[in-house]
Structure 1
Amino acid sequence: MDQQSKKLRIMMNVAIFAAVTGILAQMEIPLPLIPISGQTLAVGITAVVLGSRQGALAMICYTAIGAVGIPIFSGFSGGMHILVGPTGGYIFGFIAAAYIMGVILEKTSFTIPMAFIANIIGMFITLLFGTIQLKIVLDLGWNAALAAGVYPFLIVGFIKAFLASWIGIIIRNRLIQANLLIVESKRKAA
């Protein structure tokens, strides 16, 4: 495969996973301040399938599409006001989480147990970014910020981390077998 074809394949995978994130973002359970959505499930799957660089690029693409106003964020919302609002930190956290999850897997192995550990770490990275911005934007104390931005998401977060690990490894292995995934790390499959 020539260099141009590899770049095109990477761009297509990045775009597909940005779109998947936007689709899963619309699956939500409303809560008073921040809904539980499928976004974090999509971030975990993306990082497991694409790895660090491509996973982070997919989340940057997702963020940029939403920033220009396309309603790709949870609740069919979009625009810069979402990114600078109370919940914007979670979206910025997706980029860091996808990258770090991918790095963990690239340095260890693409297996369900390692993917689960990486997803748990990614969950806490996302929650950290989100809670800090929530605290600042709404001028909350740490206890109130944690009560609104972390505690309601922990149990569901562990469930999503497992699902993202399991689904992500299956998709990754099938894409590698079909020669549809450009693997940038030395490790190719679980």
Structure 2
Amino acid sequence: MGNTKLLKQLIIAAELAVGLAICSKITIPLGLIPLTGQTLAVGLIASIVPTVVGTWAIGIYLLLGLIGIPVFASSAAGLAALFGPTGGYLWGFFLYVWIVGAFYKYTKRTPALIFGNIFGAIIQLFAGTYWLVLSAKMTWTAAISTGVVPFLLPALIKVVLVVVVAQAILRRMPTKFNLRS
């Protein structure tokens, strides 16, 4: 990969990480795990750029939070946010991006975006739930009822929004700037 292409991808990843940070400020408190715009942004990132760029965007976002910049939901930051009860949801963003990328790699059609985002969102929720079991010492039943069930309908609504917006972006993006093509 040429240096110009690598630099372009890193700049786009940094811009997407900033967009993800902005979307994390959209928060609806629902107890231990808030409903946020983060997963909407992660779905968009996963749907409009190659997996490597999406992975870098998530990595930059997590690094910003790790060094203390309040980029996570509820303006959280630091080790406590990454390894506390909601940390598994944050780390699950990598899984979300990789899953959508795997679906999209084989076919660049709408069903791939839909199923990739549904599967990615569910796996990300279960990664967070697994982390709840470990970090908050919750039972699986309690963790699922706290960390999955309230978010299933919002996740499906976000998937619809992600697919519609991602398709609009990809249609309007000139081929030479479309990293997905």
Match of 2:40 in 1: 41
Structure 2 residue identity aligned to 1:101: V
Deviations 1:61-108 (A, max 9, x none): 111111111111011111111011000000000012101211210112
Query: Partner of 2:75: helix, strand, or coil?
Result: coil
Counterpart of 1:179? Answer: 176
Q: Which residue of 2 aligns with 1:78?
A: 77
TM superposition shift of 1:179: 2.5
1:60 aligns with 2:98: no
Q: TM-score, normalised by structure 1?
A: 0.90
**Which position in structure 1 is the counterpart of 2:15?**
16
1:178 CA displacement: 5.8
CA deviations 1:20-79 (Å, max 9, x no partner) are: 111111101111111000000001000000121111111111111111111110111111
Structure 2: runs of 5+ lacking an equivalent:
none
Which amino acid in 2 is paired with 1:165?
A: V
Gaps of 5+ in 1: none
TM-score normalised by structure 2 residue count: 0.95
Q: Percent identity?
A: 34
Which whole-Å CA distance do the structure 1 matches of 2:179 and 2:112 have between them? Answer: 20
What is the RMSD computed on CA atoms of the aligned residues?
1.4
1:148 lines up with 2:146 in the alignment: yes
Q: Which runs of 4+ in 1 moved over 4 A?
A: none
Q: Secondary structure at the match of 2:70?
A: coil
Q: Secondary structure at the match of 2:77?
A: coil
